[in-house]
A and B are shown apart, each in its own frame.
Chain A
Amino acid sequence: MTGISIFAGPGRTLDGRYAILGLILIAPAITIFMAVIVYPLVSAIYLSLFSIYTPTLQGRFVGLGNYAVILTSPRFWNALYNTLIWTVGTLTLQVLIGVGMALLLNQTILFRSLARSLVLFPYFISTVVAVLVWQWVFNDLYGVLNHTMLRLGIIDRPVDWLGQMPNAMLSIVFVGAWKYFPFVVIAVLARLQTIPEALYEAATIDGAGPVSRFFDITLPQLRDVLAVVILLRTIWDFKEFDLIYLLTGGGPLNATQTLPLLVYQEAFGLNQMGMAATFAVAMMLAMLVFISIYLAHRAREVAAS
């Protein structure tokens, strides 16, 4: 264990020299961070104090005026409400389907690795591909979904899945669940494989059935991983843009317009960059709640290990 001393540094000069080398190595990363993340972030907050017309980029300082507008802006509250519905809805489905699928894939089944690959695939394909495929499945005249449901007698005339409410919201929630549940599967499956078999054997000897084994052993063991998965997915679902924008464009009549779509529309559709920046900053503030919980959770975990 003498090698450790090299890292702690036998003398101050060596340690100092290593610290400088360390800074040189991280310098390119910090430079890029400053240019493309920190500067734009500060700039966004600065822009949120202005009223700017996008094509001319002419700005007028309005102070906190934009933030005052938010308080009474029905569009903002509508978008926040939609964001919450979308996030809670799709997240719930992702977790339920994800945990269920992970439990099944943890069993002995034929061609397990093929089944696993097929399940993971939606997570990795481009959202553009996912949306094109689903739009074709949802197509009102020739879509396979309407045909199948007509054939089974569930509906008696073709349904407009994306152009009317509440179908549009249900559709994006469902497609979101389809696209992102594999994340839950991977995380939970990895954890399931580390639960000691002895725990289940002991419970079986004590007469526990499959249901009580799930609630008494599996679920408590999954608690930590589920907490992290839910936090991360909350953050990612909250800021989802591509899937909703491409499936419904926020319609019909802004009924599925979430906060990221509102920012985009304000900046590049209505050409109000300052107001858009304000919406974006407000959205980030809402997300900070979850991000801080996640960062605190990590800090606790690091301290514990």
Chain B
Amino acid sequence: MNKPSRLRIVCINVVTWTIVLLVSFPLIWMLLTAVKPQSELFRIPPTFLPQRITFEHYARLLSDTPFLTYFGNSIVLATATTILVIAVGTLGAYSLVRFRYRGREQLATLVLFTYLLPSVVLIIPLYLLMVKLGIANTLFSLVLAYTTFSLPYALWLLRSFMAEIPEDLESAALVDGASRLGAFWDVIVPQALPGIISTALFTFILAWNEYLYALVLVNSDSSRPLTTGVMNMLITSFNIEWSLLMAASVMMSIPLIVIFAFLQSYLTSGFGVGGVKG
């Protein structure tokens, strides 16, 4: 390797990592703030690394605030939404990919259209509907509301994944005497499993992060999810405790960190199929 190209590689590395660290700085700052004692936050000039590491904010978060209730609500909410959407979406996507009936193409376009629809258009009628049905202020109403964006998304993603499975595999099973649903269960589901996992992860993250529906449809602490719950902690506090809020932010990001650490390849494959091409 000659000299200029080595210099080039060093330059590119330095530039790239500088930008990467700048991009991740707010998140690094969040982690650092969460373990600093409250008094250290108001130091001028501010300390970068904490002089004393404390986990008191995490402890207070769990014992003195409704954070755990919110966390539990979010787990239930995101899991229920994911299960519902994956069950309905897998069957629906299979139908859209492998069966021929009138209106199939229009249906596929409608799915894509609804995927791009703004939530604020649906939210007023949905609010009225939930009030009329008497289910406003429940997690169930949020699960229903979350299907408005996650079901079109999941259908679209799963449809793209399933379209890539060769039809020959399924035909072979049918020739061997399997029923259509038997072939679905034995051939399509295993083949589409990486796609199903990827879709499930995206759905979970979408539901976990959702804010607007939760803001409008739920206003009691017992069924508030994390997003509106943590914002509520900010709004209702007399003096804003930033380290507490940063600790809450870190805790709130734990599922994402777990997904990132172990399942990242599923996220990027979901992107390739559904996000851009689809």
Contact = CB atoms under 8 A, between A and B. Distances in A.
A7 B211 contact: no
B161 to A, nearest CB: 16
A57 B136 CA distance: 15
Contacts of A259: 120
Interface string B263-278: 0100110011001110
Interface stretch (B27-35, B49-57, B58-66): B27-35
A259 B120 CA distance: 9
Binding site secondary structure of chain A? helix
A144 B46 contact: yes
B99 A108 contact: no
B101 A19 contact: yes
Contact of A36 (B41, B99, B148, B264): B148
A88 interface: no
A151 B45 contact: yes
Contact of A23 (B26, B88, B95, B121): B95
Interface in A251-305: 259-260, 263-264, 267-268, 273, 276-277, 280-281, 283-284, 287, 291, 294-295, 298-299
A155 to B, nearest CB: 15
A198 interface: no
A211 interface: no
A110 B20 CA distance: 12
A212 B268 CA distance: 30
A207 interface: no
Interface string B82-116: 00000111011011101111001001011011101
A25 interface: yes
Contact of A132 (B95, B181, B209, B234): B234
Interface residues of A, number: 93
B13 A43 contact: no
B275 to A, nearest CB: 7
B256 A125 contact: yes
Interface string A34-71: 01110111011001000000000100000000000000
Contacts of B242: 136, 139, 142
Contacts of A122: 23, 26-27
A142 B42 contact: yes
B27 A125 contact: yes
B167 interface: yes
Nearest to B45: A147
Contact of B253 (A15, A126, A139, A186): A126
A185 to B, nearest CB: 10
A44 B122 contact: yes
A86 interface: no
A22 interface: yes
Contacts of A109: 12-13, 16-17
B121 A190 contact: no
B12 A125 contact: no
A3 B216 contact: no
Interface string A7-24: 100000001001101110
B23 A119 contact: yes
B125 A43 contact: yes
Contact of A126 (B24, B123, B209, B246): B209
A23 B98 CA distance: 11
A33 interface: yes
A28 B86 CA distance: 12
Contact of A260 (B120, B126, B264): B120
B200 interface: no
A29 B89 contact: yes
Nearest to A101: B19
B112 to A, nearest CB: 7
A25 B16 contact: no
A187 interface: yes
Given A39-B129, A132-B234, A142-B242, 4 more contacts: A25-B94, A36-B147, A47-B124, A108-B9
Per CB-CB distance, the 7 closest pairs between chain A and chain B, nearest first, are: A22-B99, A3-B171, A29-B92, A239-B118, A40-B125, A43-B125, A25-B95
20 contacts: A3-B174, A15-B100, A105-B16, A108-B9, A110-B17, A118-B24, A124-B256, A128-B209, A128-B211, A132-B249, A136-B29, A136-B33, A142-B41, A142-B42, A228-B276, A260-B120, A264-B216, A267-B127, A277-B124, A295-B112
